[in-house]
Amino acid sequence: MHDCDPPSKALDRWLTSYPTVKGTYGHLLLEENDVRDPNLASALAPYFESAHRDAREHFAEQIGIDLHPDADEDDDAAMLYPGCLPTTAKRGLFGEVIAGLVTEQYEFIGNHKWSIPVFLFRYHADVEKYLFDLARDETRARTVFGRFGSDFLGISLGDDGAVVRLIVGEAKWRETLNPSTIDNLMLGEWKVRRSTGERLRKGGVWFEINRDLPVPHGVRQLQRLLSERDRDGHATAIVSLDRALVLRNPVPIPRTNLVVIVGDGAAAREARTALIGWEETPAEYTSPNDLQVVELILNGGAALIDEIYGLLWAED
């Protein structure tokens, strides 16, 4: 289970926040401050370990590695999740963990109190296949495909422990953020229709969020994980999720949609400049749910990611 609070003091030193709220739309611009604390990665590492712990234990069991401290399997350390993943995969994971970090740290639209009982990384099927093969043949290193479904899922609990609201998110890392990159992310890449030769955009974050189910598949995954890992501690939450997941007469759970974009600012970018409009809800967003957008603008983000993931379980 995820049991680490955000390192609030380190985040305050690292980032300056510029929040706005317009009706049911919240926008949060986070900019890295000029001087990065040399201990930042060390401060963030415990949160990242907590986020990845469930998947690390699950994948180790699946591929046949014993994580017990007394196990004589030091030679297998290089095969452990998430350190053994390709660089591009770790970049993607960074964005998804950041989605949880900012959700727990900052105030979002609606002022709900969010929690993340467990991250859903264990359901990354291609990572499991990759690790299983790599542990048996070290020449099997390759690109890893993304995880299906929502990138991030959190819950808000009522006084009785029932889930009273969901926050469902898309989290995207790009090394450099500029208007063209954002258009491709949010509106989809340009494609050519073979029959007519017409260029059109296909997919994109807005498309995926607008068409998502009211209760996405990740909710079932979360419910199963809570039942497996902490049935007693989340008994009421599990029941409330069950009621929302039944096919006949489900009990709806209100939802907030989250979009998190992370990357370095372009060279020509001016401070306090947002890439997704904050004055009003983006026209492309047609879902009836509240929307929260977070833009995290870094300076040398790739190096920070490498440092964080290099520190995870370094003392084991």
What is the reported pLDDT for 75? 52
- Minimum mean pLDDT among 10-14, 111-115, 201-205, 231-235: which range? 201-205
The CA angle 160-163-167, to the nearest 5 degrees, is 145
Segment 171-182 shows an average pLDDT of 95
- pLDDT at residue 202 is higher than 90: no
63/67 Cα distance (integer angstroms)? 11
Q: pLDDT tens across 34-69, in order?
A: 999 999 999 999 999 999 999 999 999 988 887 755
Please, which pLDDT band fits residue 138 given cuts at 50, 70 and 90? Answer: confident
Residue whose C-alpha is closest to residue 147's, from 165, 127, 118, 131: 127
The structure tokens 């401050």 sit at: 33
Using a pLDDT cut of 70, give the percent of the chain over it: 96
DSSP strand pairing (199-202 vs 255-265): unpaired
Please, which pLDDT band fits residue 2 given cuts at 50, 70 and 90? Answer: very high
Please, which pLDDT band fits residue 143 given cuts at 50, 70 and 90? Answer: confident
Please, which pLDDT band fits residue 1 given cuts at 50, 70 and 90? Answer: very high
What is the reported pLDDT for 154? 97
Structure tokens, 123: 């359901």
292/169 Cα distance (integer angstroms)? 9
Angle between helix axes 301-311 and 87-105 (nearest 10 degrees) is 90
For the chain, give the mean pLDDT: 92
- pLDDT at residue 17 is higher than 90: yes
- Cβ count near 258 (within 10 Å): 29
For the chain, what's the residue count?
Answer: 316
- pLDDT at residue 231 is higher than 60: yes
Residue whose C-alpha is closest to residue 256's, from 165, 170, 186: 165
Q: pLDDT tens across 279-305, in order?
A: 999 999 999 999 999 999 999 999 999
Q: Is 72 exposed, middle or buried (0-12, 13-18, 19+ CB in 10 A)?
A: exposed
- pLDDT at residue 274 is higher than 70: yes
Please, which pLDDT band fits residue 74 given cuts at 50, 70 and 90? Answer: low
Please, which pLDDT band fits residue 199 given cuts at 50, 70 and 90? Answer: confident
What is the reported pLDDT for 128? 86
Q: Is the pTM of this model over 0.85?
A: yes
What is the reported pLDDT for 269? 93
